[in-house]
Amino acid sequence: MSAKLKLAVLISGSGTNLQAIIDSCKNNKIHAEIKIVISNKSSAYGLERAHQANIKTQIINYKNRDKNEVEQELIQIIDQEKIDLIVLAGFMKILSADFISHYPEKIINIHPSLLPAFPGIDAQTQAWEYGTKIAGCTVHFVDEGCDTGPIILQEHVIVDQNDTIDDLKSKILEKEHLILPKAIDLIASKKVAISGRKVKIHS
């Protein structure tokens, strides 16, 4: 059995996607281990989830700091852990093109819409207000654009006409918790290959 994929998970908030990864690793559903959880917010509940799972945590302070300086610190922290894959799980900071190019094809993100529809923040509300009948979520590789990288997996939900925004958010979140660990496992199993805009998944 090959070595487990070493993950750094970046968060800013509640960390339910982080929890899904923690649980999947613990239950041996994915051949990966979280080496460190990094948050730009000391108040992020996801840090508590990491502590409860005995996972190393690090807070990275962006306030009143030069972005390049912050990212140099981030690179140092990540490279110290010899990370194979960086997972953005609700990380609300934009990473620079320099940072992204430092980790080619090694950063993935979970986004709560069926990209390329509704990139950016509050995607669930964008979809709800637009009146879409189908919504969903996407795991994609991170490139220099905003939620524009090659798509690995997507899952959809049906939008009921009586759904509130919160109903829709929780429907989508449930699917996020399925496809993010699955995408990580596919990468850990070396079943994912990027070909231009397309991501090929080998059975």
Task: State CA 110 to chain mean position distance.
Answer: 4
Q: Does 13 bind ligand GRF (CB under 6 A)?
A: yes
Q: How far is the CB of 46 from ligand GRF (least distance, A)?
A: 6
111 binds ligand GRF (CB under 6 A): yes
Strand, coil or helix: 60: coil
**Restricting to residues 135-174, which ones interact with ligand GRF according to CB under 6 A?**
173
Distance from C-alpha of 45 to C-alpha of 23, rounded to nearest angstrom? 16
Residue 176, interface with ligand GRF (CB under 6 A)?
Answer: yes
Task: Please report whether residue 188 would count as binding ligand GRF according to CB under 6 A.
Answer: no
| Stretch binding ligand GRF (CB under 6 A), from 8-16, 50-58, 68-76, 145-153 | 8-16
Binding footprint of ligand GRF, residue count (CB under 6 A): 14
Containing 186, the helix (H) or strand (E) segment is helix 165-188
Ranges assigned E (strand) in the chain:
5-11, 32-39, 57-59, 85-88, 107-111, 134-141, 151-158, 192-195, 198-201
- Residue positions annotated with a catalytic role: 111
Point out which residues bind ligand GRF (CB under 6 A). Answer: 11, 13-17, 46, 89-90, 110-112, 173, 176
